[in-house]
Structure 1
């Protein structure tokens, strides 16, 4: 079944636009987009406030709840209108099966080209299920290569933690694919390191090749500076102690010199050891 069908067919102009109450509308359960930018919704709401709704949203009767309508296309417009506290919104009610609804929801979002990779992967998986398609068939339908679709779907094997960093764009898809060879625990450990140190894709790939070795080397590298610092501090203390002896000895010798100049006869003996410095002083009157 072709996915790229047009919901704006030649008879659409003759379809009646209805005013549907906002409270009667439920989101599209096949909506691939899990997150909506509050900023973009606010911008669209401002446009609706100034210009009104230029294109009605598309709905179908909800199969799960009587009296409700499910969004087929136009969820951003719906959310913007709801943020303005509209009571009703212009809509066209279509009769459409699940496969077409899922297909149209994906196509609408792909045309915007800002789906995050996880939402896109989930959408491809859902399209394959509802339309009973292989990856190759789906790729042909959506105008992508089979490898493109396969690489997107593989991202769903990443842990929720890694996926969240992909969605927030803290890591790239290439980072994500590099982590696929790791088990779940190691994926989470590795992605934390990527975020902490800002690792490039190349650095990430090198880390993944020997993850335990990477962290072992990292631990060793982090302890070495402490040992060097400690050794340096000890050496500094020894040097300082030596300098203290020298200062004190010079002070004593200066006192001996002053005693001699005052008329006293002075004899002194020095005995320097490794950890001590002994000075014996004898004072005599010249008379």
Structure 2
């Protein structure tokens, strides 16, 4: 029979929610909380909106070994299941639930709390970003969700989570990277330091592949990213200084290209009667053709 839990106010702030999970991430503490109840493991269901989808199998096996020997030291935080009678939904502690199944535990300790659907998601995100083994991209996504979904500022997150504001800001900036680069970070092929160096680059995906292939350090990554950024700035400056060709010039280029069967570019200097005519050839045969045409003209 479940013990009746103390009524708690809803709509709590981030600091109050943190109190529910602050001790929930260390399974080896010497001062475990007393559970409200022990419940059959089959009566506990995972949160379908759990932001974390990937659980390291090797670490789950390690935790399962610990649970076989010592049991579940820290109880899971749960709420009454919104749909299944006499069941509970995990708010925090899904890793322990999964590891307990591997360890073939029949009953697990839980702390029963009252949470709204919004608070369940918020606590799940907080629990994830507190974990030391969370990869940099999932950490960034967690911070971003806390700000977008719940209106928390970087300053508030830094204060409550014990992080610096610059750490949170730099973390969230990783979400500006292309999906390819984000995947490299999730797969631990790139570190967060490598990824941060690529943020201002014009083609971060190409640079990321180069870093991985050559096994470059973060400092080397910063150097090639700055170099690529400088080259990109020079190219943009050149494009800006190049005059836009008028319709007549483009038409003449098209006619010459069609007649020669080779790309022709006219670079006429505005206000002057001189310029350049550039013919691009793809083979020596085309070069011979050009030479033949020029020879005949003499």
Deviation at 1:66, TM superposition (A): 3.5
- Post-superposition CA distance 1:202-239 (Å, at most 9, x none): 3323322354969xxxxxxxxxxxxxxxxxxxxxxxxx
Aligned pair in 2 of structure 1 residues 62, 127: CA closer, same or farther (>3 Å)?
farther
Rg bigger for which structure? 1
Deviation at 1:151, TM superposition (A): 0.6
Match of 1:7 among 12, 20, 37: 20
- Post-superposition CA distance 1:222-278 (Å, at most 9, x none): xxxxxxxxxxxxxxxxxxxxxxxxxxxxxxxxxxxxxxxxxxxxxxxxxxxxxxxxx
- CA-atom RMSD, angstroms? 3.2
| Structure 2 unaligned regions, length at least 5 | 1-12, 23-32, 233-298
| Structure 1 unaligned regions, length at least 5 | 215-287
Aligned pair in 2 of structure 1 residues 209, 84: CA closer, same or farther (>3 Å)?
same
Aligned to 2:204: 187
CA distance in 1 between partners of 2:35 and 2:133 (Å) = 30
Secondary structure of the 2:77 match is strand
Structure 1 position 116 matched with structure 2 position 128: no
Structure 1 position 201 matched with structure 2 position 224: no
Q: TM-score, normalised by structure 1?
A: 0.61
Deviation at 1:153, TM superposition (A): 0.6
Count the aligned residue pairs.
Answer: 208
CA distance in 1 between partners of 2:58 and 2:151 (Å) = 36
More helix by share: 1
Deviation at 1:83, TM superposition (A): 1.8
Deviation at 1:44, TM superposition (A): 1.3
Structure 1 position 26 matched with structure 2 position 46: yes
Secondary structure of the 1:29 match is coil
Aligned pair in 2 of structure 1 residues 51, 200: CA closer, same or farther (>3 Å)?
closer
Aligned to 1:127: 146
Aligned pair in 2 of structure 1 residues 21, 174: CA closer, same or farther (>3 Å)?
closer
Q: TM-score, normalised by structure 2?
A: 0.59
Deviation at 1:139, TM superposition (A): 2.0
8 A Cα contact 1:3 1:103, kept in partner = no
Deviation at 1:132, TM superposition (A): 1.8
8 A Cα contact 1:44 1:77, kept in partner = yes
Match of 1:17 among 37, 40, 47: 37
